[in-house]
Amino acid sequence: MQAQLIPFIISGDARAQAAFYIEAVGGEIHALSTFGDAPGTPESSKDKVMHLSMTLAGGNTLIMTDAFQDAEPSANMGLSLSFDDEEAARTAYRNLSAGGVEKYPFALQPWGNFYYGELVDRFGMTWQLVKQG
């Protein structure tokens, strides 16, 4: 059996979160539909994102939807990006941490020949950024 794991984020504001990620690491939205596209949707929910599909940082797929109640960030899930260029990784770390919390500075690690940094972005998503030696 072969399958592809695609992260799915339930967001408080999928449009704003997607725009932030595209600005921070590059990418594009490929599909966006709202709950207004579904019959019987209440007027107050018609502009909410039902499905947003995007690629980030060179082709990684991410799917998002808007939550119907407050979206609580999860401490049990995060996203990780591995880079082949140190400056690109540093830039992504700086961009993703804007308005968020830097948990672990992006730096060369003493336990191996790689760079690592961890942050929680302004939407509550934990990111780990890595650059091998």
Instruction: Map the chain to HEC letters.
Output: CCCCCCCEEEECCHHHHHHHHHHHHCEEEEEEEEHHHCCCCCHHHCCCEEEEEEEECCCEEEEEEECCCCCCCCCCCEEEEEECCHHHHHHHHHHHHCCCEEEEEEEECCCCCEEEEEEECCCCCEEEEEEEC
pLDDT value, residue 111? 84
pLDDT value, residue 24? 97
Domain boundaries, the chain: 8-66, 78-132
Print pLDDT tens along the chain (133 aa): 999 999 999 999 999 999 999 999 999 999 999 999 888 888 888 999 999 999 999 899 999 999 977 767 777 889 999 999 999 999 999 999 999 999 999 999 988 889 999 999 999 999 999 998 7
- Say what the pTM is: 0.92
State which fold the 8-66 domain adopts.
3.30.720
Domain 78-132, what architecture?
Roll (3.10)
